[in-house]
Amino acid sequence: MAQSNASESKILAAYRARTPRAAKLYEQALELLPSGIVHDSRRTWPYGIYGDRGAGSRKWDVDGNEYIDYYGGHGALLLGHQHPAVLEAVRAQAGKGMHLAAANELEIEWARRIKDMVPSAECVRFTSSGTEATMLAIRLARATTGRPRIVRFQTHFHGWHDQVSFGVTEHLDGSASAGVLPEVAANAALLAPNDVAAVERVLAGGKDVAALIVEPIGSSSGMIPTPPSVLKALRELTQRYGALLIFDEVVTGFRVHPGGAQALLGVTPDLTTMAKVVAGGMPGGVVGGRRDILEWIDFDASAAAKRERINHQGTHNAHPLSAAAGIATLDIIRSSDACARASSVASALRRRMNEVLDEEGIPWAIYGEHSFFHLHSNPAGEDLRPMTFDPSTLTPDSLKGKDERMLAKLRLAMLVHGVDLKGFRGGIVSAAHTQADVDATIAAWRQSLRDLKAEERLPRISVAKSAAMAE
Ligand SMILES: Cc1ncc(COP(=O)(O)O)c(C=O)c1O
């Protein structure tokens, strides 16, 4: 990220002064790791913080700085860092064995809880990640329907495997990205988000669609929101044309509601992919769904149906440590108001961050639902008011638009003031965040915006519009 005035930036200087050890580690990392990182989303200008430990809503870096954490383990930590019950469950299992290469009672207990909580999960198969879960769900859909094509929405993220890795931030025309075979891309129909008419045209067209896969509340956890009415229409259309509906609840599962978005919105898919919260901060993923579909992995059911079963291995499927963390986490979620608490703190945060934008006269907006908040930094310079911003009035393109240079600086300023956002477009709130965290975040937000104003030309809310609104 080239910065034209980087050398004069006080924000950058303050960040460097607070993070000398991170700077040194990053230099070493550059020798060993492409771009010095292990996950594309963690690319941070000029380098990211190096984590040391976490507790509740907070985390500390190797330079001794404390942060209010809105990265939340990429969404895995609904209960915050080091929840005592989760920690105890993992410790107890680690003392007994890491990997016994045998069936384990924990996998049954874990599966039972998922089945009890998630409406579509008649039975489940464990994987090691969300990426593996969507890969398996797509294979199951193709085997079950005998059809080749997958329908996806542009910008919806389903992991990094070949079937889904293009059309998220680039290759929105559906062409193959580097390393992906054009034949693979040709079997995906990539449609504009929420375009129900286009979905119907594709489903009705060749009758060759195995499944439609969607993030149920919209891409990037609702950055481009999907209205519930669209989900209902997708359910009806997939049923009508013999395609399967896959909800990717890798982020929303056990977070927007104990039963995921499907329980909250009353739309039941054929298959659901889960990861993150389900494994309580440990690696793990799940495909849950109709028994007749999952039975394509079942030896006896496939033999009885005289069909070739589909293979599925995985050294770490239902790893005992992940199962232990997952069970402890799901037990807390189903017996408490953890999801609702995280959502209510996020709602207060969104409102108060917008108040600050309004007071500072900046025509940006914080929006989102549940435990998420997203920043719309208004790169097109629309005449908007933070407090009344409605994302449904904007196109997907303008919601995803961003001024990377400005936002990279804002992210750094927030780190300097003790807040770690999830990248530079928002964050995820946990059930461990408190009103005190909100107060401290608001102070950091106001100061960061002022720091940014001091060295960047930020747009101003139009006075004419303000006066009109006040009347
Ligand atoms: C909606 C969604 N699906 C799938 C994935 C992939 O999960 P994983 O990172 O566990 O492979 C992610 C990861 O962020 C995600 O947000």
Mutate to test the pocket of ligand 1, among 38, 136, 156, 158 (most ligand atoms within 8 A of CB): 158
- Between CA 115 and CA 435 the distance in angstroms is 34
Q: Which among 429, 434, 278, 258 is positioned nearest to 337, based on CA atoms?
A: 258
Supply 83's token pair: 């929840």
Q: What is the CA(162)–ligand 1 centre distance, in A?
A: 14
**What average pLDDT does range 97-111 have in this prediction?**
96
**pLDDT 10s digits, 148-161:** 999 999 999 999 99
- Between CA 156 and CA 213 the distance in angstroms is 9
Q: Which pLDDT belongs to residue 381? A: 87
Q: Which pLDDT belongs to residue 367? A: 97
Task: Name residue 127's amino acid.
Answer: T
- Confirm or reject: Cβ of 107 under 6 Å from ligand 1: no
Q: What is the CA(342)–ligand 1 centre distance, in A?
A: 20
What's the Cα-to-Cα distance from 277 to each of 265, 336, 413, rounded to whole Å? 19, 15, 29
Supply 216's token pair: 């149920």
Task: Name residue 211's amino acid.
Answer: A
Supply 252's token pair: 């929303």
- Confirm or reject: Cβ of 218 under 6 Å from ligand 1: no
Beta bridge partners of 269: none
Whether 338 has a pLDDT exceeding 80, the answer reads yes
Q: List own/partner pairs for 180-187 with CB under 8 A and 24 or more apart.
A: 187/148, 187/149, 187/150, 187/163
Nearest CA residue ID for atom 16, ligand 1: 251
Asked if residues 79 and 442 have their Cβ atoms less than 8 Å apart, the reply is: no
Confidence of residue 13 (pLDDT cuts 50, 70, 90): very high
Phi, psi (5° rounding) for residue 79? -90, 5
Contacting residues for 307 by C-beta, under 8 A, at least 6 apart:
296
DSSP H or E stretch at residue 107: helix 105-117
Q: Which pLDDT belongs to residue 128? A: 98
Contacting residues for 62 by C-beta, under 8 A, at least 6 apart:
21, 22, 25, 49, 50, 51, 52
**pLDDT 10s digits, 266-314:** 999 999 999 999 999 999 999 999 999 999 999 999 999 999 999 999 9
**pLDDT 10s digits, 359-412:** 999 999 999 999 999 999 998 888 899 999 999 999 888 888 788 889 999 999
Higher-confidence residue of 401 and 432: namely: 432
**pLDDT 10s digits, 177-235:** 999 999 999 999 999 999 999 999 999 998 999 999 999 999 999 999 999 999 999 99
**What average pLDDT does range 87-102 have in this prediction?**
96
Q: Which pLDDT belongs to residue 463? A: 67
Phi, psi (5° rounding) for residue 402? -155, 150
Whether 469 has a pLDDT exceeding 80, the answer reads no
Confidence of residue 6 (pLDDT cuts 50, 70, 90): low
- Confirm or reject: Cβ of 267 under 6 Å from ligand 1: no
Q: Which residue has the tokens 């000398």?
A: 20
What's the Cα-to-Cα distance from 223 to each of 110, 125, 367, 370, rounded to whole Å? 31, 29, 8, 12
pLDDT > 70 in the chain, percent: 97
Q: Which pLDDT belongs to residue 464? A: 57
- 3-state SS class at 365: strand
Q: What is the CA(56)–ligand 1 centre distance, in A?
A: 23
Confidence of residue 61 (pLDDT cuts 50, 70, 90): very high
Q: What is the CA(159)–ligand 1 centre distance, in A?
A: 5
- Confirm or reject: Cβ of 322 under 6 Å from ligand 1: no
Mutate to test the pocket of ligand 1, among 220, 250, 374 (most ligand atoms within 8 A of CB): 250
**pLDDT 10s digits, 240-279:** 999 999 999 999 999 999 999 999 999 999 999 999 999 9
What's the Cα-to-Cα distance from 423 to each of 72, 73, 375, rounded to whole Å? 11, 12, 11
Q: Identify the structural domains of the chain with CATH numbers, from first to last.
A: 6-80+338-470 (3.90.1150.10), 84-335 (3.40.640.10)
Asked if residues 460 and 359 have their Cβ atoms less than 8 Å apart, the reply is: no
- Between CA 227 and CA 222 the distance in angstroms is 10
Q: What is the CA(186)–ligand 1 centre distance, in A?
A: 23
Q: What is the CA(122)–ligand 1 centre distance, in A?
A: 22
Asked if residues 426 and 368 have their Cβ atoms less than 8 Å apart, the reply is: yes
Phi, psi (5° rounding) for residue 170? -130, 175
What's the Cα-to-Cα distance from 173 to each of 170, 192, 195, 234, 305, rounded to whole Å? 8, 10, 15, 21, 39
Whether 435 has a pLDDT exceeding 90, the answer reads yes
Asked if residues 141 and 358 have their Cβ atoms less than 8 Å apart, the reply is: no
- Confirm or reject: Cβ of 158 under 6 Å from ligand 1: yes
Mutate to test the pocket of ligand 1, among 224, 251, 371, 372 (most ligand atoms within 8 A of CB): 251
Nearest CA residue ID for atom 13, ligand 1: 159
- Confirm or reject: Cβ of 106 under 6 Å from ligand 1: no
Whether 471 has a pLDDT exceeding 70, the answer reads no
- Between CA 386 and CA 214 the distance in angstroms is 29
Asked if residues 226 and 188 have their Cβ atoms less than 8 Å apart, the reply is: no
Asked if residues 390 and 41 have their Cβ atoms less than 8 Å apart, the reply is: no
Mutate to test the pocket of ligand 1, among 41, 214, 276 (most ligand atoms within 8 A of CB): 276
- Which ligand 1 atom sits nearest the alpha carbon of residue 276? 10
Nearest CA residue ID for atom 3, ligand 1: 158
Query: What pTM does this model have?
Result: 0.96
Nearest CA residue ID for atom 4, ligand 1: 158
- Confirm or reject: Cβ of 157 under 6 Å from ligand 1: yes
Asked if residues 151 and 188 have their Cβ atoms less than 8 Å apart, the reply is: yes
